[in-house]
Amino acid sequence: MAYVICVNLTKGGVGKTTTAVAIGEAAMLGGGPVTIIDADRMGGALRWAQLAAAKGREMRAKVIGMPVEDIPRRIPPVARESNLIVIDAPPPGSEKITEAAFEVSDLIVMPVPPRLAEVDRVLATLEVAQRHGKLARAVLVDVSTRVGLAEQRNETLEALHGWGVTVYKTEFARSVAVERAYGNYLMPSGPVLRFGMELMTEILTTEIQGKGTNNG
C-alpha cells in the first residue's frame, strides 16, 4: 500500500497546491508511481495538470480530483497502484473533507509562510492531526531574504519550535519563477522541483525510512 502525505494548513493561500505538486513530481523522479489527489473543490492541482498537458508536457505524477467526504472509501484502489499518494487538502470551509484526508494519511506536511496570520493556524492544524493520531511537520514556504522580512522567518521558527513543532530544514524561497510555475511542466533546474526534491529527501530519511514519531 502507498505511503500517504497530506499537505494542509487550516488557512487558504499558503501554498498547499504548489507544495503538493512539488512533492509529487519530485517523488516521480525517484521512481514512482505517484498519485496526487486534489481534494480541494477549486481543483488547483488538477487544473495545473490540465494546463501542462495542453502545453504539450504532461506532469510526471497522475493527478485525480477527489473533493469528497468519503476519501477513505475511495482511496484503496489508488493506494494499490501507487507507491506514494500526495493529498492537496482543501481550505477552511471543507472540514469534513479535511478530516477524511487526515484519516487516510501517514504524514501531514504543513506549509507555513512566515506571516502571523498563517503561523496562527499551525496549532489548529496540529490539533486535527493529533486527534487522528497522525504525524505532523512544518515546512517554511514563501520565505524572503529582504531586509525586514528575514526577521519574520526567524520569529516564525522561534514560534514553531516553542510549540514543539518539528520543522524541515528545507525552505521554499519566494521568487517570480515560483509564481510562474503554475500550469507548467516542472524542470529539474527550476525552484519548485528543486524544493520538492530536497523536501522529499528529508521526508524519506526522517519519516518513511526513519518511521518518525508524532508530535506531543
Residue with cell 530544514: 169
Instruction: Classify each residue of 58-68 as buried b or exposed e, where b means 16 or more C-beta atoms within 10 Å of its C-beta.
Output: ebbbbbebbbe
**Which parts of the chain have pLDDT scores under 50?**
212-214, 216
Residue with cell 498519485: 35
pLDDT in tens, 113-133: 998 888 989 999 999 999 999
Per cent of the chain over pLDDT 90 is 78
Geometric angle at alpha carbon 14, from 174 and 133, rounded to 5°: 125
Structural domains of the chain in order of their starting residue, each with its CATH number: 3-208 (3.40.50.300)
The set of residues, in sequence order, having a beta carbon less than 8 Å from that of 57 and lying 6+ positions away, is 184, 185
Is the Cα torsion angle 204, 210, 211, 216 positive or negative in sign?
negative
What does the DSSP assignment read for 20-56? HHHHHHHHHHTT--EEEEE-STT-HHHHHHHHHHHTT
pLDDT in tens, 8-32: 998 888 899 999 999 999 999 988 8
H helix runs in 31-149, sequence order: 44-54, 71-80, 95-104, 116-119, 122-131
